[in-house]
Structure 1
Amino acid sequence: MARAPDNAVKWTTLVVLATVGTALTVATNPGFVMKISQEGLDYACQQGMAVLQKKLENIKLPDFSGNFKIKLLGKGNYNFYSLKVLNFQLPSPRLRLQPDVGLQLSISNANMAVSGKWNAKKSFLKAGGNFVLRAEGISLFANLKLGSDPASGHITAACSSCKDYINRVTLRVSNSKWGGLIRLFQKRIDSLIQKTLQNKICKILTNTVNTNLQQYIRTLPVTSKIDKVADIDYSLVAPPEVTADSLTLKMKGEFFRQANRSSPPFDPPVMAIPPVHDRMVYLGISDYFFNTAGLAYQQAGVFKWILTNSTLPKRSKFHLTTGFLGQFLPQVSQMFPDMNVRLVFSVSSPPHLVMEPTGLAFTPHLEAQAFAVLPDSSLASLFLLGMSMNAHLAVGVNSDRLVGNLTVDTLRLKLRHSNVGSFPVELLQDAMNYIVTLVAVPKVNERLKKGFPLPVTNRIQLSNLVLRSYQNFLLLGANVRLG
């Protein structure tokens, strides 16, 4: 996913730990679910406050002036200028879930310091110098409404209301023997500054959410690129769901071919995610997610491997030659003496993964086509084997990527076609077991080891992982940190 500026990343973390891109069609059920707990929002709030604090410290306060009146002496005037915020402390921010609405941000006991210059004049009396103003007991309450854009599938965030309050303001002046004049109109100054600050704080927060954050969300890509064949669609298929315990994002979670996208001939299953809250974020990954991957790669013809005698390990006890096969099938060496053999493995149908509480069952169906390599390098078909297997797929997480490892339990052979006469496939069982385990499976695991990207923004790292299998889906729980 595209790398965002630090502030944009942190502000996105404030609203959701990861945001997603564009939806193409609406599915009945999601293939991928992200659930963010209150603990996750607490961490997001800490990151977001760092951004808000910087913005508040860059508030541009206008110069202001006015008149004052002194008994017996009459009226005078004052002027405050070159105002600059020295610091803005946000010690107690809280981000809370609002069921069916979104999030509520509250800040209490905040304080700020402002420096600047001042002068005052009454006839022959003139005063001026520097000042430092401290505003204390600042409170802020804002509601963040979450939704989704039906046309694009982006998450939407808007500051629907904002209210702030300043408890007290203290003004101290320096560099003037007539600084006592300030006391004559200090209450009026305090009131003006307090009103100015209150308007500015909510205005900055609202603009940051409604404009800056929303603009950044719209720049996020719709998909995660995997390789030259397929991408993953992580778009929203429904508005965010907010309960008293968590914020849930429902995503398409679908692999698709870049060259020719089409809808899978199966639908996502229902994922009954249990109420767990001891991690910051939970990812529900349905078998639909994995099975669309198998479909996309099978349709693209990626699941195809060619083995020759030269590609086998040097220590191999089997050899791909007609002479070696002739030990099991004499007719092969008789019809094609002293020739090399080429084995072409391919997936005859999309691999299908079933998730159950007891684990993940994987039932790929392969074909093995054997050819004799003739002296002119042309190929003569020997036989075609159907291969069905029971396998297990172990799934894990490496940083921000989903990885796997395939283990084959049993391999069953069936003779589909033969140009060398009928023969019992059991004669080739040991050879196929060896070749599939030693050569084919490692090639699959090499790809699975590279992994597939999870829908988290750049620089977010997952830790303290827990992975459990349920009916139709895996549940990954993790804590997060911004690296």
Structure 2
Amino acid sequence: MQITQYSFGQVSLTTTSPDLINFHISGASLKMSGNWNVNYEIFFFSNSDDGTFTADASGIDLDISVRIGMDANGFPTITPTPSCTASIANLRAVVADSGLSFLYNILLNFSNDRIRRTFSSQICPAVKSAMQTQIQRILQNVTLTYPLGLATRVDLTLSRPPAVTSDALTLFSRGRCYAVGEPDAITTVPFPEIPEFTESTRMSSVILSDYVANTFFHAQWNAGTWNRWFYHDSFISSLGLNLTTDTFAQFLPG
């Protein structure tokens, strides 16, 4: 079966503390096409048949809640809850490429309501399955570390599970910088305590602490990126500079 055309209609979402996001889709529609086959037996007569079909569904409504969190590696997770309802207002299916297509289409017209209810009952399991496999696979493979300069990367994985209030979703990213090739290096920079947010007046906001800058400079120092050594031949001889420890005595007393 293949979905050839779809429309999401109107989509809205709400948040519920402590970790729920509620999706509401109304007025969605889709068109499908595919192949079918059937085996049937009537008394001592048995037969098999196959063909193609097209189906149009409209007035699709879906309400589903998902729980957001994080895994052991700091990647976000989405888990559907048992709360899910779905319905299809209109469904029209037509079969073709069979010698008995006309008969099957008559039977489909008589049992349209039953078929519509059957399709409706499969929406929630299909959506939940997609969330648990496809969407979760995408989240686990999303890139959350990025280069910051030539010798440093910044880790944007989650430091704790997302916080959900009645009107906001807050993500807590590590924001830790480390030298390239040393993602597990221990930093001496203390991680700041970021408070929970109980309300928000903005659609989105970002709070950036000095932890990012501090770990960046710490990683640069560990990597020796800014190390510079000066020798006698580092200066132009015509300047008449004689570089010794006494040269810096006036700047670094003791």
Q: Same fold (TM over 0.5)?
A: yes
Q: Separation in 1 of the partners of 2:217 and 2:172?
A: 22
Q: Give per-residue Cα distances to partners, 1:88-135, cap 9 Å, x unaligned.
A: 3222122332221221111111223456799xxxxxxxxxx9976433
For structure 1, the residue ranges without an aligned partner over 5 or more in a row are: 1-59, 61-83, 119-128, 312-319, 325-338, 342-370, 373-379, 386-413, 419-483
The aligned runs of 1:98-247 (5 Å cut-off) are 98-114=16-32, 133-149=55-71, 151-161=72-82, 162-170=84-92, 186-188=109-111, 190-221=112-143, 223-226=145-148, 229-247=151-169
The aligned runs of 1:324-363 (5 Å cut-off) are 324=239, 339=240, 341=241
Equivalent residue of 2:74, what SS? coil
Deviation, 1:171, is 5.5
Number of aligned positions between the proteins: 238
For structure 2, the residue ranges without an aligned partner over 5 or more in a row are: 37-50
Q: Say whether residues 1:384 and 2:220 are aligned partners.
A: no
Deviation, 1:157, is 0.6
Equivalent residue of 1:224, what SS? strand
After superposition, the CA RMSD in angstroms is: 4.1
Structure 1 length as normaliser, TM-score? 0.41
Q: Say whether residues 1:262 and 2:169 are aligned partners.
A: no
**Structure 1 residues 133 and 290 mapped into 2: Cα distance closer, same or farther (>3 Å)?**
closer
Q: Separation in 1 of the partners of 2:178 and 2:88?
A: 54
Equivalent residue of 2:26, what SS? strand
Match of 1:285 among 203, 208, 212: 208
Deviation, 1:86, is 4.4
Deviation, 1:185, is 6.4
Q: Separation in 1 of the partners of 2:224 and 2:104?
A: 86
One-letter amino acid of the structure 2 residue matched with residue 264 of structure 1: T
Equivalent residue of 2:158, what SS? coil
**Could you tell me which residue of structure 2 aligns to residue 476 of structure 1?**
none
Q: Give per-residue Cα distances to partners, 1:343-379, cap 9 Å, x unaligned.
A: xxxxxxxxxxxxxxxxxxxxxxxxxxxx53xxxxxxx
Q: Separation in 2 of the partners of 1:87 and 1:228?
A: 45
**Structure 1 residues 192 and 85 mapped into 2: Cα distance closer, same or farther (>3 Å)?**
farther
Q: Give per-residue Cα distances to partners, 1:24-83, cap 9 Å, x unaligned.
A: xxxxxxxxxxxxxxxxxxxxxxxxxxxxxxxxxxxx3xxxxxxxxxxxxxxxxxxxxxxx
One-letter amino acid of the structure 2 residue matched with residue 145 of structure 1: R
Kept after mapping to 2: 8 A contact 1:103/1:146 = yes
Deviation, 1:217, is 2.1
Q: Say whether residues 1:90 and 2:15 are aligned partners.
A: no
**Could you tell me which residue of structure 2 aligns to residue 294 of structure 1?**
217
One-letter amino acid of the structure 2 residue matched with residue 250 of structure 1: F
Kept after mapping to 1: 8 A contact 2:189/2:214 = no
One-letter amino acid of the structure 2 residue matched with residue 233 of structure 1: D
Q: Separation in 2 of the partners of 1:95 and 1:180?
A: 44
Q: Separation in 2 of the partners of 1:147 and 1:255?
A: 23
Q: Separation in 2 of the partners of 1:222 and 1:283?
A: 16
**Structure 1 residues 181 and 292 mapped into 2: Cα distance closer, same or farther (>3 Å)?**
closer
**Structure 1 residues 200 and 292 mapped into 2: Cα distance closer, same or farther (>3 Å)?**
same
Q: Separation in 2 of the partners of 1:227 and 1:184?
A: 67
Counting aligned pairs with the same residue, the percent is: 21
Q: Say whether residues 1:275 and 2:203 are aligned partners.
A: no
Q: Say whether residues 1:415 and 2:245 are aligned partners.
A: no
Equivalent residue of 1:285, what SS? coil
